[in-house]
Chain A
Amino acid sequence: MYKILKRRALNDAVILIEVDAPHIAKKARAGQFIIFRVDAFGERVPLTIADSDISRGSITLIFQIVGNSTRLLSQIPEGGFIQDVVGPLGVPTETEGAARVCIVGGGVGCAIAYPQAKSLHNAGIPADVIAGFRSKDIVILEEEMSKISRNLYITTDDGSYGEKGFVTNKLKSLLDGGAGYDLVIAIGPVIMMKMISELTREYNVKTVVSLNPIMIDGTGMCGCCRVSVGGVTKFACVDGPDFDAHQVDFDELNKRNQTYRSLEPHICRITGEVRNA
């Protein structure tokens, strides 16, 4: 059992929790993830590690309530316990050799963009961060990201905060303005990562995306998280989750991610409960 030391809602649908997991905290690096199982009946679900604190022996997870398991996770109070947390899994993000980096986060993807930016900041090469949201009310991590980024650009689809438009518009204007990036890291919805990838391909800028396929074990055993990268089947859990964006088959990933959409259990609109405990 893994204790939730701290819990904070970042917006209506995005929750931050700090989890007691000293072994994981000690090893976690930017880009890596954990798999949690909310209780003895739960699914195994991957979440990227947003932060880790060796002295507190804790890791921070930021997740959006999108389905059954994340809803149940969101319902555990501070001081409560998660049944299982395993990690750190996956290969840490490789940024070596990069001098001018732009990190693009979309929505809750900023929870993953943040540790990347922080790790570059700590390495003495602060990155530009473009953080995109649908509207002002769901902006997360602004203060945290502004502290560790070279420049933070916030965009909203509806223009209610920051610059109006998509992250791709902002990245394009920065590239056109001669930002001279040698690496773009994009994390967010599959469609956003695909659009960023198509843009940077034109500019010939190396681009890395952090993929979010369905997983079970996270150790290369089930093959559920397979993605096509440059025409070769890769397992996101052990070969990734980071891949060369220009090689990834995003359409296939998007399709595979819909596999169990229709099997999501009914969520009670009155009580918010997914199942009877």
Chain B
Amino acid sequence: MPNPNYNNDLQKSPMPAQAPEIRNKNFEEVALGYDAETAVKEANRCLNCKNAPCVSGCPVNVKIPQFIDALANGEFLRSYEIIKSTNALPAVCGRVCPQENQCEGLCVRGKKGESVAIGRLERFAADYANEQDASPVTNDIEQKDIKVAVIGSGPSGLTCAGDLAKLGYKVTVFEAFHTAGGVLQYGIPQFRLPKEIVSKEIESLRALGVTIQLNMVIGKVFTVDELFEDGYKAVFIGTGAGLPAFMNIEGESLRGVYSANEFLTRVNLMKAYDDKFDTPVKKSQRVAVVGGGNVAMDSARCAKRLGAEVYIIYRRGEAEMPARAEEVHHAKEEGIIFRNLTNPTKILGTDEVTGIECVEMTLGDPDASGRRRPVEKEGSNFVIDVDCVIMAIGTTPNPLIKSTATGVTFNKRGCIIADENAKTTADGIYAGGDAVSGAATVINAMGAGKIAANSIHEYLQNM
């Protein structure tokens, strides 16, 4: 029967947001979320396609037409339960997934007009449930007396832990930092992903029976081999790609040069923007952020909120930027100045940074990544006066785990070698997320965590 409330608007229902000139001075969330009425209206744009192409674009296979149908019927909590059945972190995914390349990219409505706002709807359902304090159903899980260790509490680890806990395993997550969440805590800023939401998602994992041990650097306090000796039957490694890259140009050791990791950790995890916290961060007037990814956008937007004039320096053009279009758009709205086709050659200063020398670039033939290779325009060097430089040019997997897991092998880039089932070359050890793929997205890491949980379940059943 055709949906009598079908909404044939070609555009998504707009997302209410803080005005750019207001939000670029605070750390409150930028996007404010749909209200119930808008959510129902937007849900009614869904065609409820039988073959659901959207689902095939989701790394954790959220039952998208079903949860949207529940929303359209006003059954908000049921909608949340449907999402939660395959996705451990709905409120996070609704905010930070690049839906345009995934579910929404495959939405039939997107063929003519805009796709259904799947991400916004997911966020609405999750936020609604969180406001109702709806704790997930946990009492029907049959507990198994089998211990599994998860190393790292980022998106892949939390997903893997959640799925294993739902299967009844005794899961312990080991986190090196003093707060669980990995990149969701230290990397993604408060204004894009409020930490209260991350904490809530983690609380719901604890409610499922997951134990989280903070301040535990596996590889130092225990080796992976010792975890097995301690009775863990399988181990998942989700230690991410945390090692920051520098350009190896002159001046990178000057005061005022940060890796994006350091800058974002100070601001997000250690809350340097809040006077209550002791964390220092340089009070800069003019900041150059080097890079064109989401991390660069996050760094730039944080620096802006701390009161600086901010430049993005990126060696290719905007079309080649790896950042989500939405993030670039938000950054521009907030007054970030983009210097594309520009590459730093050295950082100037004696003790403190006083400027960054750059060279203009043009685009040549496509390189291995398929993007056009940036080529220096000789003699086009110029200086931008800045007192702070943030390097956001990528990260590689954390090397700490390397020395500790016997039998696990690594590729040339330092990534753990794991097959499509997340199995490493060592028996009982699984891995996923950025530690395997190199720096990627939250949702891909979650997808890998999910696959690993299934593989671990299979492995333990056959033991």
CB closest residue in chain A, given B398: A220
- Given the known interface contacts A43-B279, A220-B242, A223-B244, the answer about A86 and B270 at a Cβ–Cβ threshold of 8 Å is no
Is the CB of B246 closer than 8 A to any CB of chain A?
A: yes
Say whether A42 contacts B278, CB under 8 Å.
yes
CA A260 to CA B177, docked complex, whole Å: 22
Rounded to whole Å, the gap between the CB of A29 and the closest CB of chain B is 11
Find out whether the CB atom of A219 lies under 8 angstroms from the CB atom of B248.
no
Cα distance A87–B242 in the bound complex, in angstroms? 18
C-alpha gap A233/B248 in the complex (Å): 8
User: In chain A between 63 and 103, which residues have their CB closer than 8 angstroms to a CB of chain B?
Assistant: 68-69, 83-89
Which 10 pairs of residues, A with B, have the shortest CB-CB distance? Answer: A222-B262, A223-B259, A221-B242, A86-B215, A260-B280, A263-B280, A84-B178, A223-B244, A224-B262, A43-B278
- A228 on interface, CB distance cutoff 8 Å: yes
Q: Is B217 an interface residue (CB 8 A)?
A: yes
Q: Looking at chain A, what size class is its interface with the partner chain?
A: 35 or more
- Knowing A86-B215, A87-B220, A255-B255, the reply to whether A220 touches B243 (Cβ < 8 A) is yes
Best-surrounded residue of B254, B266, B280 (most CB of chain A within 10 A): B280
**The one of B248, B259, B279 that contacts A222, using a Cβ cutoff of 8 Å:** B259
How many Å lie between the Cα of A189 and that of B26 in the bound state?
A: 40
Question: A271 to chain B: which residues have CB within 8 Å?
Answer: none
Known: A86-B176, A86-B178. 6 other contacts (CB 8 A): A27-B222, A43-B278, A89-B217, A216-B270, A220-B399, A263-B280
Determine if A259 is an interface residue (Cβ-Cβ < 8 Å): yes
Assess whether B242 is in contact with A88, with CB atoms less than 8 Å apart. Answer: no
A219 touches B270 (CB 8 A): no
B243 adjacent to A41 (CB under 8 Å): no
A43-B270, A86-B176, A222-B259 are known contacts. Are A24 and B221 too (CB-CB below 8 A)?
yes
Q: Which residues of B sit under 8 angstroms from A252, Cβ to Cβ? A: 253
Known contacts A41-B278, A238-B400, A219 near B265 by CB under 8 Å: no
- With both chains docked as a complex, state the minimum distance between the C-beta of A209 and any C-beta of chain B, in angstroms: 17
Q: Is the CB of A219 within 8 A of B398?
A: yes
Which residues of the partner chain B approach A221 to less than 8 Å between Cβ atoms?
186, 242-244, 261, 265, 398
| Min CB gap A145→B, angstroms | 27
Residues on A facing B (Cβ under 8 Å):
23-24, 27, 37, 41-44, 68-69, 83-89, 216-224, 226, 228, 233, 238, 252, 255-256, 258-260, 263, 265, 275
Chain B residues near A265 (CB-CB < 8 A):
278
Closest chain A residue to B277 by CB distance? Answer: A41
23 contacts between A and B (CB under 8 A): A23-B221, A42-B278, A68-B278, A87-B217, A88-B221, A217-B176, A218-B217, A219-B217, A219-B398, A220-B242, A221-B186, A221-B261, A223-B259, A224-B262, A228-B253, A255-B255, A256-B255, A258-B255, A258-B351, A259-B255, A259-B280, A260-B280, A263-B283
Q: Is the CB of A37 within 8 A of B178?
A: yes
Residues from chain A with a CB closer than 8 A to the CB of B178 are: 37, 44, 83-84, 86
* CB of B282 within 8 Å of the partner chain: yes
Quick check: B253 and A87 within 8 Å, CB to CB?
no
In the complex, whether B214 has a CB less than 8 A from a CB of chain A is yes
- CB of B111 within 8 A of chain A? no
Bitwise interface map of B from 201 to 218 toward A, beta carbon under 8 Å scored 1, else 0: 000000000000011110
Residue of B nearest to A32 (CB): B220
Instruction: Say how far B190's CB is from chain A's closest CB, in angstroms.
Output: 16
Bound form: Cα–Cα A24–B216 in Å: 9
Q: Are A44 and B217 in contact (CB under 8 A)?
A: no
Distance between Cα atoms of A256 and B283 in the complex (Å): 16
User: Whose C-beta in chain A lies nearest to the C-beta of B274?
Assistant: A41
Return chain B residues, CB-CB under 8 Å to A23.
Answer: 216, 221-222
B149–chain A nearest beta-carbon distance, Å = 14
Q: Which residues of the partner chain B approach A219 to less than 8 Å between Cβ atoms?
A: 176, 217, 242, 398, 400
- Whether a CB of chain A sits under 8 angstroms from the CB of B127 is no
Compute how far the CA of A68 lies from the CA of B279 in the bound complex, rounded to whole angstroms. Answer: 10
- Tell me, yes or no, whether B276 is within 8 Å of chain A by CB: yes
Question: 8 Å CB contacts to A: which residues of B311-370?
Answer: 351
In the assembly, what is the distance between CA of A83 and CA of B443, in Å? 32
Q: Does B122 contact A (CB under 8 A)?
A: no
B242: A residues at CB distance < 8 A? 217, 219-221
Report Cα–Cα, A23/B220, bound state, in Å. Answer: 10
Q: Check if B252 is an interface residue, CB within 8 A of chain A.
A: yes
CB nearest to B266 among chain A residues: A216
Residues A223 and B255 in contact, CB atoms below 8 Å apart: no
A84 to B277: give the CA distance in the assembly, Å: 15
Within 8 A of A (CB), among B371-429: 398-400
Q: What's the Cα separation between A252 and B252 when bound, in Å?
A: 11
- Which residues does chain B contribute within 8 Å of A24, judged by CB atoms? 221
Closest to B226 in A: A27
Instruction: Find out whether the CB atom of A223 lies under 8 angstroms from the CB atom of B280.
Output: no
Which of chain B's residues 46-87 have a Cβ closer than 8 Å to chain A?
Answer: none
Contacts of A233 in B (CB 8 A): 246, 248, 252-253
Q: In chain B between 256 and 314, which residues have their CB closer than 8 angstroms to a CB of chain A?
A: 256, 258-259, 261-262, 265-266, 270, 276-280, 282-283
Residues of A within 8 A of B259 (CB): 222-224
Q: Please tell me which one of the listed residues A41, A228, A263 contacts residue B276 in the complex, with CB atoms under 8 A apart.
A: A41
Contacts of A220 in B (CB 8 A): 242-243, 398-400
B183 to chain A, nearest CB (A): 10
CA distance A233 to B250 in the complex (A): 12
What are the residues of chain B within 8 A of A255 when measuring CB–CB?
A: 254-255, 351
CB of A165, distance to nearest CB on chain B (Å) = 31
